Amino acid sequence: MQPPLITKSPEILGGIPVFYGTRVPVQNLIDYLAGGDTLDEFLDDFPTVSREQAIRFLEAIRHGIDIEGTH
């Protein structure tokens, strides 16, 4: 079984969805990619997010999976 993908908690950044086990908002990845940065640049800047987490998140978005249900 895979670990949760994202989590939301009022104690972590006021409940903004973050990658599980980190304090990195998932929106940061979207913003990086939308701004023309690469996945590697994002991962370099946010080393607490694993490549697997980032790819799982992007695949979930691509396939319309309910990522909110994975925490």
Q: What is the pLDDT of residues 2-57, one digit of tens each?
A: 778 999 999 999 999 999 999 999 999 999 999 999 999 999 999 999 999 999 99
Residue 46 half-sphere exposure, CB side, CA atoms within 13 Å?
Answer: 22
Considering only CA atoms, which of 9, 40, 49, 69 is closest in space to residue 60? 69
**Candidates 1.10.8.60, 3.60.15.10, 3.40.50.720, 1.10.10.10; CATH matching 6-70:** 1.10.10.10
Domain boundaries, the chain: 6-70
Residue 70: pLDDT band by 50, 70, 90 thresholds?
very low
**pLDDT for the residue 71:** 44
Angstrom CA distances, 59 to 9, 10, 12, 13, 54, stand at 23, 26, 24, 24, 9
| Single-letter amino acid, residue 13 | L
pTM of the model: 0.83
The pLDDT assigned to 65 comes to 65
